[in-house]
């Protein structure tokens, strides 16, 4: 019987897939350079040997602060094959946040990608007695000065070539010693509230989620993944890295979210793991490009095609759709490379309008649901049961039920071992084997799960009415010129909102409605624009109950950012931090006459 460990999946992939075919690609200059399985595992074993030389052993902990790159995978695989627990850390975190995670997890070694990340660790190194070594993927001038800093490229000089037979033998030996309950990774998640909690995931947790994904999503070795979400995010790590790696698919690294557009055309991916923000940006760019086209037949055709997709797009068998597909939709798909089978979206709610629009032009988005504590994928939409506005059905092997108050409860091999060094939080999160997700949901008529809100986000007005802010925020975010919104109203007489507009879209709106604006700052103060915004907000929330409607709002000229501590690394707004920061602005909306 197969052991429920990633070591088993590594062995399976070496047995099944070509050892000499390149399958992980990095863009260097204008070229994509690849690495095959044998070359990869030569390096994995070189690093594994080196970690043992540093006296690391099973249960030791190492951190990785790096963007996605081949070295990340080499480090992760070396840890998996040594029983060493890895602790991924977002590159966007501050030195203080890094210090907290390294201190709490007692990491012995910290891998960093470049001098920027190295400097952050060096700033707090003196306060971290457990941290013995820093290994840098990029060479650094600090090597000669600080003897605790080790060059990754120096370690790689010890690489010895292992043929496939010897590799399989080595993996079989390691497999005998591996256990499904062994801790594989600790992922620190701050969520939108509180100090970070270390989620402990075992070999079995990640094995089961990868297997459930392979049984649910039809991924094969002919698939090509373009990876842009960080591997520190469990969604990309499981679905964009492990799933691709173990099914024999190819992985191409995106240089950043800003290069995605160019790289999709180059790589021609079949799968992109994404968060809704990328799809929102693509949607808004498409809408904008139509308005900016020079007047004429082409513009009329393009705008009509967009209108048709938004209104009648579901009828793809009609002659009109086929004509528009030939003239417009196929050209839009070409910009994604022309081979895209699916976007797989998670990490936040996908705007239903955006999902349905892309579906109408022939780009399918499979929205799913999960959390770090569930390794992460709980459910996903499948092409046969696709309902935008839902997060699909539970994966094979996952049990999902709703508590009396509507909270989503999850059970199965995917549920974490617990929170590191935090038995109280673990006991309140996992009760009788059921993970209490903190999310509220319902089942729709197709048997798909629909997320209605976060339990902690729900608030009660001073009139005693419960209000779910996420639903209201999603409605307002349908307006193309609104980039971010935070709804407020806990213990208040009525609902208000902080709104960050998308200035380019606002400028477009100003031109459309003939509002005279001479400088950018006037976009936020022009009476004609403000009147139009108010009308639009009232229109999108017309079906809400009176107590749910936004009565007043403030436009902010600065977006919420990760750097300012207002967003989590997965771009979710930290409600408490933002409400505290804009306390005076919020109060003024309740004291206006």
Residue where a domain terminates, one of 179, 200, 226: 179
Sheet holding 22-28, edge to edge: 31-36, 22-28, 250-253, 224-227, 271-274, 342-345, 365-370, 377-380, 393-394
Q: pLDDT tens, 73-95?
A: 999 999 999 999 999 999 988 89
Give a yes or no: residue 132 inside a domain: yes
Q: Does residue 239 lie within any of the structural domains?
A: no
pLDDT digits (tens, 9 = 90+) for 372-385: 999 999 999 998 88
Specify whether 365 is located in the same domain as 414: yes
Residue of 184, 147, 177 whose CA lies nearest to 60: 184
Longest dimension (CA), the chain: 79
Q: Which of 399, 424, 454 is the last residue of a domain?
A: 454
Look over the chain and give the mean of its residue pLDDT values, rounded to a whole number: 92
pLDDT value of position 191:
57
* pLDDT tens track for 329-342: 999 999 999 999 99
Between 206 and 471, the more confident residue is 206
pLDDT digits (tens, 9 = 90+) for 490-506: 888 899 999 999 888 89
Q: Does 480 share its domain with 445?
A: no
Domain contains 241: no
Q: What pLDDT score was predicted for residue 158? A: 86
Which pLDDT score is estimated for 1?
Answer: 60
Q: What is the pLDDT of residues 542-556, one digit of tens each?
A: 999 888 999 999 999
pLDDT above 60 for 449: yes
Regarding whether 478 and 398 lie in a shared domain, the answer is no
Quick: pLDDT tens for 151-164: 999 999 988 888 88
* Closest of 176, 249, 185 to residue 213, by C-alpha: 249
5 token code pair: 């460990």
Write the CATH number for 534. 3.30.300.30
Which contacts of 411-415 are long-range, i.e. CB under 8 A and separated by 24 or more positions?
Answer: 411/435, 412/208, 413/4, 413/204, 413/205, 413/207, 413/208, 414/205, 414/208, 414/209, 414/212, 414/374, 414/375, 414/377, 414/378, 415/205, 415/373, 415/374, 415/375
Last residue of a domain, one of 454, 484, 508: 454
Question: Is residue 478 domain-shared with residue 450, that is, in the same domain?
Answer: no
Task: Tell me: do 472 and 328 sit in the same domain.
Answer: no
Task: Decide which of 198 and 145 is more confident.
Answer: 198
Assess if residue 313 is contained within a domain: yes
Q: Is residue 420 part of a domain?
A: yes
Give dist(CA 276, CA 524) in Å, integer.
26
Length of the chain: 593
Q: Does the pLDDT of residue 483 top 70, yes or no?
A: yes
Q: Are residues 146 and 14 in the same domain?
A: yes
Instruction: Give the dihedral sign, CA 343/505/564/117.
Output: positive
Note the pLDDT of residue 380.
97
496 and 373 together in one domain = no
Phi, psi dihedrals of residue 155, rounded to the nearest 5°: -60, -40
Domain check: are 410 and 291 in the same one? yes
Q: Is residue 214 one of the residues assigned to a domain?
A: no
For residue 75, what are the domain limits? 6-179
Q: How confident is the model at residue 458, as a pLDDT?
A: 81
User: pLDDT band at residue 460, thresholds of 50, 70 and 90?
Assistant: confident
Same domain, 286 and 407: yes
Check which CATH number belongs to the domain holding 58 and give it.
Answer: 3.40.50.12780
Helix, strand and coil content of the chain, in percent to the nearest 5, comes to 45, 20, 35
What average pLDDT does range 392-410 have in this prediction? 96
Give pLDDT, residue 182.
96
Domain count, the chain: 3
Is there a domain that residue 227 lies in? no
Domain-embedded: residue 190:
no
Considering only CA atoms, which of 249, 256, 266, 261 is closest in space to residue 32? 266
473 and 446, same structural domain? no
Instruction: Say if CB 276 and CB 351 are below 8 A apart.
Output: yes
E-assigned strands of 471-528?
A: 482-488, 495-501
Arithmetic mean of pLDDT, 237-260: 95
Same domain (yes/no): 319, 390:
yes
Q: How confident is the model at residue 593 (pLDDT cuts 50, 70, 90)?
A: very low
Strand partners, 379: 369, 394
Show the tokens assigned to 331: 């050209």
Q: Tell me: the pLDDT tens digits for 273-322?
A: 998 888 988 988 888 888 788 999 999 999 999 999 988 877 888 999 99
pTM comes to: 0.88
Asked if residue 487 and residue 438 are part of one domain, the reply reads no
pLDDT above 90: residue 188? yes
Question: How confident is the model over 7-39, as pLDDT tens digits?
Answer: 999 999 999 999 899 999 999 999 999 999 999
CA distances (Å), origin 14, targets 7, 74, 80, 163: 11, 15, 15, 11
What is the C-alpha to C-alpha distance for residues 484 and 180, in angstroms, rounded to an integer? 42
- Average pLDDT on 577-593 reads 87
Q: Which comes out higher in pLDDT, residue 324 or 519?
A: 324
Residue 290 burial (CB count, 10 A):
17
CB 5 within 8 A of CB 179: yes
């Amino acid at each position: 019987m197969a052991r429920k460990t990633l070591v088993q999946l590594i062995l399976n992939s070496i047995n099944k897939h070509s050892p000499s075919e390149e399958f992980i690609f990095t863009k260097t200059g204008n070229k994509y350079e690849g690495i095959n399985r044998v070359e990869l595992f030569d390096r994995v074993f070189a690093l594994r040997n080196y970690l043992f030389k540093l006296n690391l052993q099973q249960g030791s902990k190492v951190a990785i602060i790096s963007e996605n790159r081949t070295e990340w995978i080499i480090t992760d695989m070396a840890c998996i094959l040594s029983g060493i627990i890895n602790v991924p850390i977002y590159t966007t975190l501050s030195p203080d946040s890094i210090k907290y995670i390294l201190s709490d997890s007692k990491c012995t070694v910290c891998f960093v990608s470049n001098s920027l990340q190295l400097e952050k660790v060096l700033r707090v190194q003196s306060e971290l007695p457990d941290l013995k070594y820093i290994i840098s993927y990029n060479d650094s001038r600090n090597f000669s000065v600080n003897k605790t800093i080790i060059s990754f490229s120096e370690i790689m000089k010890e690489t010895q070539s292992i043929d496939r037979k010897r590799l399989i033998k080595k993996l079989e030996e390691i497999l005998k010693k591996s256990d499904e309950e062994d801790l594989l990774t600790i992922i620190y998640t701050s969520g939108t509230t509180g100090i970070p909690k270390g989620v402990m995931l075992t070999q079995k947790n990640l094995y089961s989620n990868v297997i459930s994904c392979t049984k649910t999503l039809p991924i094969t070795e002919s698939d090509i993944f373009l990876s842009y979400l960080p591997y520190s995010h469990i969604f990309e790590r499981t679905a964009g890295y492990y799933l691709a790696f173990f099914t024999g698919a190819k992985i191409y690294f995106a240089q950043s979210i800003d290069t995605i557009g160019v790289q999709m055309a180059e790589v021609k991916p079949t799968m992109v793991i994404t968060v809704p923000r990328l799809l929102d940006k693509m949607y808004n760019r498409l809408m904008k490009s139509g308005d900016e086209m020079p007047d004429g037949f082409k513009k009329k055709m393009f705008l009509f095609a967009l209108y048709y997709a938004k209104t009648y797009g579901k009828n793809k068998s009609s002659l009109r759709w086929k004509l528009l597909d030939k003239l417009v939709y196929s050209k839009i798909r070409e910009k994604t490379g022309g081979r895209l089978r699916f976007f797989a979206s998670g990490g936040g709610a996908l705007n239903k309008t955006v999902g349905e629009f892309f579906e109408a032009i022939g780009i399918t988005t499979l929205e799913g649901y999960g959390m770090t504590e569930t390794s992460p994928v709980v459910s996903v939409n499948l092409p046969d049961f696709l309902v935008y506005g839902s997060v699909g059905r539970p994966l094979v092997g996952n049990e999902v039920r709703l508590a009396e108050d509507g909270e989503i409860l999850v059970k199965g091999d995917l549920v974490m071992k617990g929170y590191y060094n935090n038995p109280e939080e673990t006991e309140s999160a996992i009760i009788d084997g059921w993970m209490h997700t903190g999310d509220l949901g319902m089942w729709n008529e197709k048997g798909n799960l629909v997320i209605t809100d976060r339990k902690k986000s729900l608030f009660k007005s001073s009139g005693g009415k419960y209000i779910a802010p996420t639903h209201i925020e999603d409605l307002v975010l349908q307006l193309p010129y609104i980039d971010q919104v935070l709804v407020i109203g806990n213990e208040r007489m009525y609902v208000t909102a902080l709104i960050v507009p998308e200035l380019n879209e606002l400028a477009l709106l100003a031109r459309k409605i003939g509002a005279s604006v001479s400088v950018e700052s006037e976009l936020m103060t022009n009476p004609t624009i403000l009147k139009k915004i108010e009308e639009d907000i009232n229109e999108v929330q017309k079906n809400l109950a009176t107590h749910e409607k936004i009565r007043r709002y403030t436009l902010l000229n600065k977006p919420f950012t990760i750097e300012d501590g207002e967003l989590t690394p997965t771009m979710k707004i930290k409600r408490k931090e933002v409400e505290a920061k804009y306390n005076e602005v919020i109060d003024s909306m309740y004291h206006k006459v």
